[in-house]
Amino acid sequence: MNGYTELEASLKRMLELIQDKAAGPVLLAQIEHLDQLAQGLGPETPPMLRHYMEKRGYPKALEFLAGLDERKTPNC
């Protein structure tokens, strides 16, 4: 998906930090960064991506960006 390179990289970094149990302060900073990116998503953002970011469904957002999730409406 074009135009979401920074978001995708930040999501991948977030998942790496979750695996590192000692990443506390860095993890918090990454969450704040992702929140800022989510707030900056424009009106052209696919509704499912917006939903995943608002709900902090970071693995699902990453799957969506990779083209593995083609749902049109939330399933939650």
Per-residue pLDDT of the chain (76 residues; tens, 9 = 90+): 557 999 999 999 998 888 887 778 898 899 999 999 999 999 999 999 999 999 999 999 999 998 886 666 655 5
Q: Is residue 71 part of a domain?
A: no
Distances (CA, A) of 68 to 8, 65, 72: 13, 8, 13
In a domain, 41, yes or no: yes
Number of domains in the chain: 1
- Write out the residue range of the structural domain in which residue 23 sits: 5-65
Q: Is 70 inside a domain boundary? A: no
Q: Report the C-alpha gap between 18 and 23 in whole angstroms.
A: 7
- Say whether pTM exceeds 0.75: yes
| Residue 59 belongs to a domain | yes
28 inside domain: yes
